[in-house]
Every structure is written in C-alpha cells, then in structure tokens.
C-alpha cells in the first residue's frame, strides 16, 4: 500500500451526499474512513468503516483513532453528517434541539478537534463542512431556525479555523448547498423544493461532491463558503 495515498474521513457516509463523496474520493485513490450510525463494512481494503453516533465524542475518538492506526494520517475531513428539522420556531421540542445540535454541532466539533490535532503533526490538512444556504438566506415559508443556528455556526467556525490555522498548512472551507436531490427529500416534494431556487430546480448530489473535490484541490483557498445553491445566495 503506497504511503503517498491521501486519507479522507467522511461523516454521514452511509447514504446520500456522504456516500457519493466516498465513491468520488476512491476514484482519486484516496484511502477513505467512512462513518455513520448504519454504515456497513466494505470489501474494499482502502475503505475503513466505523459505525457510531457522531453526536457522541466517543465516536469521534474511535473514528480518528482507527483511521490513524489503519492508514497512518488524516489529510482531509468532510463534516457531512447532518439532520434537518423544519418547524415553526415555537414548535421545536427540546428533543429536536438536542438532536439537531448533537449531530450538526457536536458532530462537527469533536471529530474536527481530533482530525486537526493529527493534521498539525504533518503541518497539512483540510476540513470541509457541509452547511446550507438557509443559514444566511432564510426562506419565507420554510421556518428552520435550528438549521440556521447550527449551520450558521459551521460557517462562522469555518472562517475562524481558516484564520487560526492559515500559517500552519491547514485549510478550512464549507460547501453551502441549496436543496439537493438526496434521500433526505421524498420524491413527491421535489417540484415544490425546486421552485425555491432562482434556477427553478433542485441541485444534484454530484454538484456538492464536485464542490468538495474542487476545494480539496485548491491550496490557496481557505475560509471559503462555496455556495452550490442554484442562485439562492445571490438573491430571489
Ligand atoms: N439534501 C439537502 O437538500 C441538503 C441541503 C443543504 C445541506 N445539506 C447537508 O448535507 C449533508 C448531507 O445531507 P444528505 O442530503 O446526504 O442527507 P441524508 O441522505 O439524510 O444523509 C445523512 C447522513 O448523515 C448520517 N447521520 C445522521 N444522523 C447521524 C448521527 N446521529 N450520527 C452519525 N451519522 C448520522 C446518516 O447516516 P445514519 O442514519 O446511518 O447515521 C446519513 O449517512 C447534511 O449535513 C445536510 O444538512 C443537505
């Protein structure tokens, strides 16, 4: 096994955008560590799967620990695990709040700390987090304060990490999608969701994957929130 092969950790990798990220980086011959609660073992020796709840700091410890033991280092972390609960503000329950902040914020914080600690050892690395354009462009009729609170936090943390590590070889970026045709959205909602974009249609998972691939290959880009949203961030 070549030691020049890069190593990427992908959270939320059991389905949807995360599963597509795994496939895309395997095509580039990265070694991949894929995690989610329901992730299944892979027959590909270059894919290590670690099952667990990313809201739990112990999962982050296992993922990064097993990644370093098996593959020796971490080059890229994709913080993709996320859940979306849209409700009128006063209808959110304490369980909604705990679930969304658990996956979207704890799920970013603990694993990013451990991944960056490894990246610091070789003075290089890249953290990409998946945000949402709803965080800074709220849509009338789609109440989603918990998405704004958590993903807005990821955008701010991305810029903050970019500056903290700019001189130490570690980059931090985010991809801010509009609404993407993934298992998150049942087919019967697609027409209505598509209409929420200036372009009049939803995005594809490949649109997000291509943005991650670009950011990972862009050594002078850090602190970028790359909108992949059919024009939502430009206006309406
Ligand atoms: N689809 C969209 O329209 C859209 C728009 C903007 C942003 N995004 C963001 O893009 C990312 C991926 O979305 P997607 O559309 O691919 O969603 P998805 O199809 O629902 O997949 C979500 C992934 O997150 C994992 N996950 C959920 N809860 C978890 C937990 N507690 N611990 C570990 N893993 C957990 C799921 O795996 P398990 O269930 O196996 O744990 C799954 O692999 C999310 O961060 C989402 O917020 C999506």
Predicted confidence at residue 1, as pLDDT, reads 45
pLDDT bucket at 2, cuts 50 / 70 / 90:
very low
Give the DSSP per-residue string, 91-139: G--HHHHHHHHIIIIIHHHHHHHHHHHHHHHHT-EEEEEE--GGGTS--
Residue 221: pLDDT over 50: yes
In terms of Cα–Cα distance, which of 64, 86, 82, 81 is closest to 73? Answer: 64
Residue nearest to atom 45 of ligand 1 (CA): 82
Q: Kindly report, residue by residue over 85-127, the tens digit of the pLDDT.
A: 999 999 999 999 999 999 999 999 999 999 999 999 999 999 9
Ligand 1 centroid–CA 25 distance in Å is: 18
pTM flag (> 0.95): yes
Ligand 1 centroid–CA 31 distance in Å is: 21
Q: Kindly report, residue by residue over 179-220, the tens digit of the pLDDT.
A: 999 999 999 999 999 999 999 999 999 999 999 999 999 999
Q: Kindly report, residue by residue over 151-186, the tens digit of the pLDDT.
A: 999 999 999 999 999 999 999 999 999 999 999 999
Predicted confidence at residue 3, as pLDDT, reads 59
What is the position in ligand 1's atom list of the atom closest to the CA of 39?
Answer: 40
From 82, 95, 107, 201, give the residue whose CB has the most ligand 1 atoms within 8 Å, as the site to mutate.
Answer: 82
Residue nearest to atom 41 of ligand 1 (CA): 37
Q: What mean pLDDT is predicted for residues 140-145?
A: 96
Q: Where are the beta strands (DSSP E) in the chain?
A: 7-11, 31-36, 47-51, 76-79, 125-130, 170-177, 180-181, 203-204, 225-228
In terms of Cα–Cα distance, which of 184, 161, 46 is closest to 115? Answer: 161
Which residues form ligand 1's pocket by a CB distance below 6 Å?
A: 12-18, 36-38, 53-55, 80-84, 103, 130, 132, 177, 179-180, 182-185
**How many whole angstroms separate alpha carbon 90 and alpha carbon 19?**
34
Q: Which CATH superfamily is domain 7-178+204-228 in?
A: NAD(P)-binding Rossmann-like Domain (3.40.50.720)
Predicted confidence at residue 236, as pLDDT, reads 83
pLDDT bucket at 79, cuts 50 / 70 / 90:
very high
Ligand 1 centroid–CA 83 distance in Å is: 5
């Amino acid at each position: 096994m070549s030691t020049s092969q890069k190593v990427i950790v992908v959270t939320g990798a059991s389905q949807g955008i995360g599963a597509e990220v795994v496939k895309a980086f395997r095509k580039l011959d990265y070694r991949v560590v894929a995690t989610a609660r329901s992730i299944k073992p892979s027959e590909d020796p270059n894919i290590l799967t670690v099952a667990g709840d990313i809201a739990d700091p112990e999962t982050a410890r296992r993922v990064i620990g097993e990644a370093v033991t098996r593959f020796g280092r971490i080059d890229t972390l994709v913080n993709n695990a996320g859940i979306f609960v849209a409700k009128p503000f006063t209808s959110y329950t304490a369980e909604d709040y705990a679930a969304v902040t658990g996956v979207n914020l704890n799920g970013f914080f603990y694993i990013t700390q451990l991944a960056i600690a490894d990246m610091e050892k070789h003075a290089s690395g890249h953290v990409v987090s998946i945000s949402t354009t709803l965080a800074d462009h709220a849509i009338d009729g789609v109440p989603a304060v918990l998405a704004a609170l958590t993903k807005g936090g990821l955008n701010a943390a991305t810029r903050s990490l970019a500056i903290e590590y700019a001189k130490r070889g570690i980059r931090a970026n985010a991809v801010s999608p509009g609404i993407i045709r993934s298992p998150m959205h049942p087919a019967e909602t697609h027409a209505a969701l598509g209409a929420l974009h200036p372009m009049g249609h939803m995005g594809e998972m490949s649109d997000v994957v291509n943005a991650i691939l670009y950011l990972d290959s862009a050594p002078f880009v850090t602190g970028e929130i790359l909108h992949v949203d059919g024009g939502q961030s430009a206006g309406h």
